[in-house]
Structure 1
């Protein structure tokens, strides 16, 4: 069965207004959230195989810090230009081109694309996947990536930094 793990990049800094959006780094809160979320994401069943990351600095920093927080797991990833998107239709297109031998995929990306994609794919309603938030979607039936469609997955996990911190 296919499984999708969505991780929104951690909180980024807007301190330097001269930086292009793609070049914004994480802020202190974002750095802390990565450490807080890493073990929870692993414990929720994310195997960190077939990890694909947006080319944005904040997304790359997110997966790098998660990797550093999981000393007992080796996380490697591929940078993917197509994942630097804010449009869920682009995510659908990208997923439909995946090799069907891949059963689980981890994406580090951006909103509103991730929230919209999650809600459409699982017929759920999450108002917002927050920064460094994690969602796990499981296929309802055996399917191929090219057949990805609305309602074909179910929401299995939704974890946020605030929930873990008890706020």
Structure 2
């Protein structure tokens, strides 16, 4: 694997009006616009992942769908429950277990683990 793109989900609504779980929070309008902007940037640079792995949280799923649609990504996005509240250590293990034949992958998840792994790898 040559490149991993760690992508934090776009801006979500502050809280669910019905008091639903955090994992069900959706993207705000600004979040949808930002995800589209990011996707267009990736498209501009001809980035096409071999796989997209996303937290199963609604806001990550929506971010992944916007990116996949914009890039015309043909494969199924993998929604992974464990990426929702993953620790830095477990995210590092997840990365180490990804199929090395994939040239580029996207991992769409949450802070603080995404910041921590980027700091560790840089």
TM-score, normalised to structure 1's length?
Answer: 0.65
Give yes or no for contact 1:88–1:117 (8 Å, CA) kept in 2: yes
SS at match of 1:7: strand
Bigger radius of gyration, 1 or 2?
Answer: 1
Q: Where do 5+ consecutive residues of structure 1 fail to align?
A: 123-167
- Which shows bigger deviation, 56-65 or 38-47? 38-47
TM-score, normalised to structure 2's length?
Answer: 0.86
Structure having the higher helix fraction is: 2
Equivalent residues, number: 120
Aligned to 1:54: 55
| Structure 1 ranges of 4+ moved more than 3 A | none
Aligned to 1:22: 23
Q: Residue deviations 1:66-116, cap 9 Å, x none?
A: 23334xx22531111221125221110111212222232210111111111
Question: Relative contact order, CA 8 A, sep 6+: which one is greater?
Answer: 2
Aligned to 2:96: 96
Give the drift of 1:6.
1.1
Give yes or no for contact 2:50–2:103 (8 Å, CA) kept in 1: no
1:20 and 1:91, CA in 2 relative to 1: closer, same or farther beyond 3 A? same
**Aligned-pair Cα RMSD in Å:** 1.8
Q: Where do 5+ consecutive residues of structure 2 fail to align?
A: none
Distance in 2 between the 1:48 and 1:98 partners?
A: 13
